[in-house]
Amino acid sequence: MFGPTADATLEVPERYFTLESYDGGTARWCPGCGDFAILSAVQRICRDQQVPPERLAMVSGIGCSSRFPHYMHAYGFHGLHGRALPVACGIKARRPDLTVWVATGDGDCCSIGAGHWLHAARYNMDMVVMIFDNSVYGLTKKQSSPTTPLGMSTNTHPQGALLPPLNVAETTLGFPNVSFVARTLDWNPGHLYQTLVTAAKHKGTSFVHILQRCPTYTPDVFEDLRRDPERILLLTHPEGVPAEEVAVKQYRNRLEHDPRDLAEARRLAGGHGEKMAIGLLYRNPDAPRYDNQSKVGLGKSREEKLAAIERELDRFVI
């Protein structure tokens, strides 16, 4: 016999969100771009956690990754270059009930936005910050970014990038009051998904450094990592990113790493031993959060606040 038995009760929730509930405009990244995998992972998380689209705010700056809000059915703010983080902090300050995600890139966040990057870590407001690292400015067609490998030819440095690249995860781990740093790869959907789920659960600013393929301008930059799983070091820990066996069994190099150990997190993020560590590098659930502190407010009623403003203004009456 097929179908529910006669005495079964079928509870249908008033609203149920499917993956399509989070579909925005048609994504117009280049074929094979790693951004598609990240978009799919975020939509899957929203569906799995049943986040109502009207409770979701996607914020970005400028760049290929920053087109993200257009492709999600949610509140979106496609901001100015490097300015995603202060916008996201402002949203979180006024609407703490919203789930806030930030999509930014190595060019957007780590160059013109670097000051905001540091202070967002220090403010530690509750949001997920995805740093899409493709080692180049893709939207403006292959200029050197802060993470371009030394010697790689770009349109701004045809003879090869002149400076050693900045390490996104290692740099973030140097910021005051940083509370969460993880690293993942766009070409392993299971690890990408689990890392973002772990980030979304953390209460504070969760920075996720995502190695993101750009087949148009930096097709070779992650190829050795992609082809040779021996170069990956999978970080494991009961409090870290859950290792989905199917997704990560190709990574045989594993290390039990306690995410409370900041010094070891920095060492691992720096790539010592020439392996690329992926997983949860650092987490401090006790780091103070600006949104927690500021929502306490002044403890005064609206009328008392208005009266105080009037008193202040009266001081300037001529």
Q: Does 232 bind ligand SF4 (CB under 6 A)?
A: no
* Residue 199 in contact with ligand SF4, rule: CB under 6 A: no
Interface with ligand SF4, residue 216, by CB under 6 A = yes
Least Å distance, CB 63 to ligand SF4, is 8
Q: Which of 99, 111, 134, 167 binds ligand SF4 (CB under 6 A)?
A: 134
Residues 62-121 that bind ligand SF4 (CB under 6 A): 64
Which of 152-160, 214-222, 233-241, 257-265 is the region at the interface with ligand SF4 (rule: CB under 6 A)? Answer: 214-222
Burial (CB < 10 A; 0-12, 13-18, 19+), residue 92, is: buried
Query: What is residue 98's DSSP assignment?
Result: S
35 touching ligand SF4, by CB under 6 A: yes
CB 19 within 8 A of CB 44: yes
| Touching ligand SF4, residues 234-293 (CB under 6 A) | none
- Tell the burial category of 176 from Cβ atoms under 10 Å away from its Cβ (0-12, 13-18, 19+): exposed
97: Cβ contacts below 8 Å, ≥ 6 apart:
55
Asked whether position 215 contacts ligand SF4 by CB under 6 A, the answer is yes
Q: Does 30 bind ligand SF4 (CB under 6 A)?
A: yes
φ/ψ region of 151 (left if φ > 0, alpha if ψ in -120 to 50, else beta) reads left
Q: Which one, 161 or 248, has the nearer CB to ligand SF4?
A: 161
Q: How far is the CB of 30 from ligand SF4 (least distance, A)?
A: 3
Select the span of 10-18, 44-52, 147-155, 215-223 touching ligand SF4 (CB under 6 A).
Answer: 215-223
Residue type, 172: T
* Gap between the Cα atoms of 130 and 103, Å rounded: 5
For the chain, the maximum distance between any two Cα atoms, rounded to a whole number of angstroms, is: 88
The reply on whether position 217 binds ligand SF4 by CB under 6 A is yes
Indicate the SS3 state at residue 92: helix
Among all chains, which residue has been given the structure tokens 């949104």? 291
Binding site for ligand SF4 (CB under 6 A): 29-30, 33, 35, 64, 134, 138, 214-217
